[in-house]
Chain A
Amino acid sequence: MDNETASHSALIACLLEMGELLLNCGAEISRIEDTLQRLGRAYGAERMDVFVIPSLISVTLSFPGNEAVTETRRIRSSGGNDFYRLEKLNDLSRRCCAAPLPIDGLRAALDGIAAGKKPRSVVYLGSVLAAGSFAVFFGGTLWDGLAAGAFALLICALQEKLGQTALNTVAFNLVISLLTGLAVGLLTMALPLLHMDMILIGDIMLLIPGIAMTNAVRNILVGDTISGAVRLAESLIWALALAGGFMVAMLALDLAG
């Protein structure tokens, strides 16, 4: 393998890595395709063919002199939002398009960003604040807000524990909503001062794929039909799973009470 070919394959590996990281941080599909195209051109490609859907990235770089490299990457988990890394990736691609880093440098920068996830404590704090605020926002009392915040901790802990298992997203949402529904229902039975609906609405805001669904419809309306359709179907199925879990919990509580 000569030097040029080696650097081309190192470059395409970097582009795929960049694409996968962007997908996992919640970047929009059209933005990812655009970023990879610009980067490829900045590194000397004459023509870039990039295709991204939530489960696959395919990149072809064509260099002057009829040389082209193509690679694809299967994406196992996509979705989720990590603005911390998204912003760093955005900075990196901006810098590289202006003045391309050496490929080793790009690789090192990507590895650095991949390793630096958003801190867990901030995720917990954010979930508590969001669930508590929305319980009050939708008409709950301060006590409902505090309770919703406390159950947000339970949801975060469950998400972390179950996230390490091989459970698929549908089953995952079903289990989480069932357990949360039961826990909230039992507490409100014991403490009639609390309103079950308000607490659950606050916690549902953390779980419903509202953002995912909006993004999906947005993808469809801006022309990324395949990605949009895939994500819409996914988020509808997740929403059904959530609803299923809560409904089983409510039925069980109705029977018990």
Chain B
Amino acid sequence: MKGIIIQLLTAFLGSLGFSLLFGLRKRHLFAASLGGLLVWGLYLLAEYYVHSIFLANLLASAFAVVYAEILARRLKCPATLFVLPGIVPLVPGGSLYYAMSHAVRRELEDASLYGTATLTKALAIAAGISLVLAVRELHTRR
């Protein structure tokens, strides 16, 4: 439990850091960082219930876009402003690192395991985003 709280808190702070890094305006900072926390919370829940890293990442990133679209419509600004901070906690920095460090030590089996995990997560995030965008486009006319 303590681990989960630390993860949620650092997901919030990490998203806040990236929002600052991207130059997001002050009045949007809280909403964007909260997105990171919610996305990670949803990811943990999804992973617990569906036991699939791919599906959990897909669901969490789809949620990030829905959250961002709602905010963007309310605040009349581009959704990207909230999508990117939201998906930041899902970015597979950890697996990429372990893939590299195993590759250096010639532990090729482990390296390819982490390498595959990295790609799987990246693909799932992109698929989640595109899925929501596709649904949205179904509802807009040319």
Contact = CB atoms under 8 A, between A and B. Distances in A.
Interface of A: 26-28, 31, 81-87, 90, 94, 117-119, 122-123, 125-134, 136-138, 145, 197, 200-202, 204-206, 208, 210-211, 213-214, 216-218, 221-222, 239, 243, 246-247, 250-251, 254
B81 A137 contact: no
Contact of B100 (A131, A137, A243): A243
B38 interface: no
Contact of A214 (B6, B16, B94, B126): B126
Interface in B84-120: 84, 87-89, 91-94, 96-101, 103-105
Contacts of B77: 87, 90
A247 B104 contact: yes
A86 B80 contact: yes
Contact of A204 (B89, B97, B122): B97
Interface string B117-135: 0000011011101100110
B70 to A, nearest CB: 17
A136 B78 CA distance: 30
A130 B84 contact: no
Contacts of B80: 26-28, 31, 83, 86
A217 B13 contact: no
Contacts of A125: 17, 20
Contacts, number: 162
B71 interface: no
Contact of B20 (A123, A138, A200, A211): A123
Nearest to A205: B93
Contact of B126 (A131, A217, A250): A217
Given A136-B6, A243-B103, 7 more contacts: A86-B78, A90-B77, A122-B23, A129-B14, A214-B122, A222-B137, A243-B100
Contact of B81 (A83, A197, A239): A83
Contacts of A131: 17
B127 A221 contact: yes
Given A87-B78, A130-B17, A204-B96, A251 B126 contact: no
A50 to B, nearest CB: 15
**Which of A131, A134, A216, A243 has the most chain B CB atoms closer than 10 A to its own CB?**
A134
Closest 9 CB pairs of A and B: A130-B17, A126-B20, A118-B23, A217-B126, A126-B21, A129-B17, A210-B91, A84-B23, A221-B130
A73 B77 CA distance: 27
Given A204-B97, A210-B122, A129 B104 contact: no
Contacts of A85: 23
